[in-house]
Amino acid sequence: MSVLLIAEHNNKEVKPFTLNAISAASQINEDVHVLVIGSNSEAVAKSISLVPNVKKIIHVNNSIYENYLAENYTSVILKLSESYSHIVCSANTFGKNLMPRVAALLDVSQVSDITKVISEDTFQRPIYAGNAFATVKSKDKIKCVTIRPTSFDPAPTSGGSAKIQNSDAGEASEISKFVKKEEIKSDRPELGTARVVVSGGRGMQSGENFKLITAVADKLNAAIGASRAAVDAGYITNDHQVGQTGKVVVPDLYIAVGISGAIQHLAGMKESKVIVAINKDGEAPIFSVADYGLEADLFEALPKFLEELNKLNTIQK
Amino acid sequence: MKILVAVKRVIDYNVQIRVKEDNSGIVTDNVKMSTNPPDDNAIEEAVKIKEAGKASEVIAVSVGEEKAQETVRKALAVGADRGILVKVDGAIEPLAVSKILQKIVEKEKPDLVFMGKQAIDDDCNQTGQMLAALLNWPQATFASKIQIKEKSLEVTREVDEGLETIEVNVPAIVTCDLRLNEPRYASLPNIMKAKKKPIEQINASDLGVDTKPRIEQIKVEEPPKRKAGIKVASVEELVQKLKNEAKVI
């Protein structure tokens, strides 16, 4: 049997996390088919057909899919589900919203947010905000699985030549409608995929002081993160939040500044490859996960850090 | 308008959980339990809507062990009118919970069902969407703002790229983000009053829902430990280590 992967896209480009999900899908079974539901979304289908891991694209192209609504997507997926052993997608706000609606109508108990594929029916997933990992085996005939994107490398985007097959639209749902989306535009790398993340916590003391973080992030071509405490205090907007209630990030370098390291924050960043903590409280829990800890006043350390970075001849981007 | 709010009893979010020595699960004996945090936001929102005169009744429902009654009672103390406890023994998957809630919705006929977007124990993030599917109702997940209109809701959702606004017809399911509101604390007089509010107890087995797990939990393990790091003495040393040892800048 084959794996049906639901692509996330904006009708022009495929979203990066779909490529991570494709990698995981091909670990489940090599016969990966990708479903692209969209409107004027030919370019998306074409670009995914170049991914070598993908064996077939099913393209449903209709103006009713101009904007993504779980209610609209679900009927299309249900129609195709019989031919598949697995239905998968990324475990971000797209897939978290969609997959349970599909699973319930197939009478399937979903496996959420997997971080490892052990076999076709057995997966590892974090529970309690990553403070424990459960190995679970699905006994349902069809397996509905969402994939934690940062646990899998993105699939390559060239070299493949999968066939694109067009398929019919489902019924348009009358019960919900899209109103608007306010995307936060930034020239920086996206938080979820950035190589370097510099985050500030309550220790920043004000939104104004986040300019110290911004300056370092500019130098390192980094995304800017924040703890929930900093977001709740109004220093920075929620789309920067790293943690159980925000985003899970796995950068090569994570720099936590003025962040004490509450369990809920650690859940979002402790898989980072190298962690730096700058905090004046030497007992702060953040130091227990840091590879390099600097016990210092951040208002002196950050300008000095920038000064030292400026002295380097080259900085990786 | 009638609002049903689903609440779950979980290990308190401040507790550092421990994995059982035989890897069969998480230690829950003698551990502080609380309401799942975003479920507090769900109750708060429902009570606020009632206080604004836009809802006639708020019903709190929990599916769980006998002790989940405490969680229902807490919802009553912050303003829900009455409670329902559907008793089950042991672990139950979101699919089964949503089937139980479907039965409760069919009986109580609420116009809206609110619940937290995710439980902080199993981190599944499924129940609301599954209930919406089973009822063929629209779903507004990860809500950070709810505006009530004549026969619909306009809901702002926290999504990866920023904020998305959708309009859903009533009846609808809303799953709540922590940013939706600031849950209140129950006052002592309200805690006393809540003791007199009724909680109906139902056995899940009487609802005719199959609650047998479909997912076998093979083992639960501690996350891999990070190797102990070092403290550096100065910013210069930090930059030098990042450049030459970790090779990340």
B142 CB neighbours in chain A (<8 A) are 93, 96-97
pTM of whole model > 0.90? yes
Superfamily classification of domain A196-311: TPP-binding domain (3.40.50.1220)
Query: How far is the C-alpha of A186 from the C-alpha of A116, rounded, in Å?
Result: 32
Contact call for B219 and A112, based on CB within 8 A: no
Q: Which one of B123, B153, B163 would you mutate to disrupt binding with A, by most A Cβ within 10 Å of its Cβ? A: B123
**Residue B200 structural domain:** 2-221
Structure tokens at A93: 């706000």
Please tell me which of the candidates B130, B168, B248 has its beta carbon nearest to residue A104: B130
Contact B136, B129 (CB under 8 A): no
- Whether residue B233 lies inside any domain: the answer is no
| B137 in Cβ contact with B105 (< 8 Å) | no
A·B CB contacts under 8 A: 246
SS3 content of chain B, % helix, strand, coil (to 5): 30, 30, 40
> B177 in a domain, yes or no?
yes
* Contact at CB, A93 and B160, closer than 8 angstroms: yes
Which residues, 6 or more positions from B66, have their beta carbon under 8 angstroms from its beta carbon? B85, B87
Whether residue B228 lies inside any domain: the answer is no
State which residue of chain B sits closest to A294, comparing Cα positions. B232
Q: Nearest-CA neighbor of A38 among A3, A13, A55, A2?
A: A13
Amino acid at position A124, single letter: Q
Instruction: Give residue A192's pLDDT.
Output: 83
pLDDT of residue A237: 87
Whether A253 and B242 lie within 8 Å, measured CB to CB: yes
Which chain A residues are within 8 Å of B213, Cβ to Cβ? 109
CB-CB neighbors (< 8 A) of A125 in chain B: 123
B20 residue type, one letter: K
Q: What residues of chain A lie within 8 A of the CB of B163, using their CB?
A: 181-182
End-to-end CA gap in chain B: 58
**Which residue positions in chain A have pLDDT lower than 70?**
none
Domain A2-166 and domain A196-311, same fold? Reply is yes
Q: Is residue B85 part of a domain?
A: yes
pLDDT digits 0-9 by tens, A235-289: 998 889 999 878 889 999 999 999 999 988 998 999 899 999 999 999 999 999 9
Burial class (CB in 10 A: 0-12, 13-18, 19+), A44: buried
Does residue B229 lie in a domain region? no
Of the candidates B235, B220, B224, the one whose C-alpha atom is nearest the C-alpha of residue A308 is B235
Q: Which single residue is written with the structure tokens 């104004």? A: A208
* Residue B234 placed within a domain: no
* Candidates A181, A274, A295; nearest CB to B162: A181
In chain A, residues with a C-beta closer than 8 Å to the C-beta of B98 are 104
Is the CB of residue B238 less than 8 Å from the CB of residue A294?
yes
Q: What is the pLDDT of residues B64-115, one digit of tens each?
A: 999 999 999 999 999 999 999 999 988 899 999 999 999 999 999 999 999 9
Q: Which CATH number does A2-166 carry?
A: 3.40.50.620
The answer to whether residue B197 sits within a structural domain is yes
Name the burial class of residue A283, with classes exposed (0-12), middle (13-18) and buried (19+) by CB atoms within 10 angstroms of its CB.
Answer: exposed
Domain residue extents for chain A: 2-166, 196-311
A13: which residues sit within 8 A by CB, 6+ positions away?
A43, A44, A47
How high is the mean pLDDT of chain B?
95
Q: Which pLDDT belongs to residue A248?
A: 87
**For residue A175, which of A101, A110, A108 has the smallest C-alpha distance?**
A101
Structure token pair of residue B167 = 């309009």
Q: Report CA torsion sign: B106, B107, B110, B115.
A: negative
Q: Which residues of A touch B165 (CB under 8 A)?
A: 179-182
CA-based nearest distance B193→chain A, Å: 32
Q: Do B179 and A74 touch (CB under 8 A)?
A: no
The answer to whether the Cβ–Cβ distance between A182 and B162 falls below 8 Å is yes
For position B160, what pLDDT does the model report? 85
CA distance B48 to chain A (A): 21
B167/A177 CB distance under 8 A: yes
CB contact under 8 A, B249 and A176: no
Statement: residue B228 has pLDDT above 80: no
Distance CA A222, CA A305 (A): 14
Residue of A nearest to B11 (CA): A128
Q: Compare CB distances from B249 to A282, A291, A316 and report the shortest one's residue.
A: A316
CB contact under 8 Å between A245 and B178, yes or no, is yes
Beta-bridged to residue B10, according to DSSP, are: B34
Q: What's the pLDDT score for residue A244?
A: 80
Residue B224's pLDDT is 81
Q: How far is CA B136 from CA A95, A105, B171, in A?
A: 19, 10, 10
Domain count, chain B: 1
CA pair distance B67, B85, nearest whole angstrom: 10
Residues of A in contact with B105 (CB under 8 A): none
Please report residues of B whose CB lies closer than 8 A to that of A309. 239, 249
Antiparallel, parallel or unpaired: β A32-38 and B230-232: unpaired
Q: What is the number of other CB atoms lying within 10 angstroms of the CB of residue B101?
A: 27
d(CA A74, CA A57) in angstroms, rounded, equals 17
Cβ pair A139:B216 closer than 8 A: yes
Domain membership flag for residue B247:
no
Q: Mutation target for A interface from B215, B239, B241: give the one with most A CBs within 10 A.
A: B215
Q: Chain A: residue nearest B159 by CA?
A: A93
- Using alpha carbons, select from B98, B4, B1, B2 the residue that is nearest to residue B60: B4
The string of DSSP letters for A188-216 reads SPPTTT-SEEEEE-GGG-SSTTHHHHHHH
Q: What is the mean pLDDT of residues B121-138?
A: 97
A251 Cβ contact partners less than 8 Å away, ≥ 6 residues apart? A194, A195, A196, A197, A222, A223, A272, A273
Measured distance CA(B73)–CA(A166) in Å, rounded: 53
Strands A116-117 and A122-127: antiparallel
Contact A135 B219 (CB under 8 A): yes
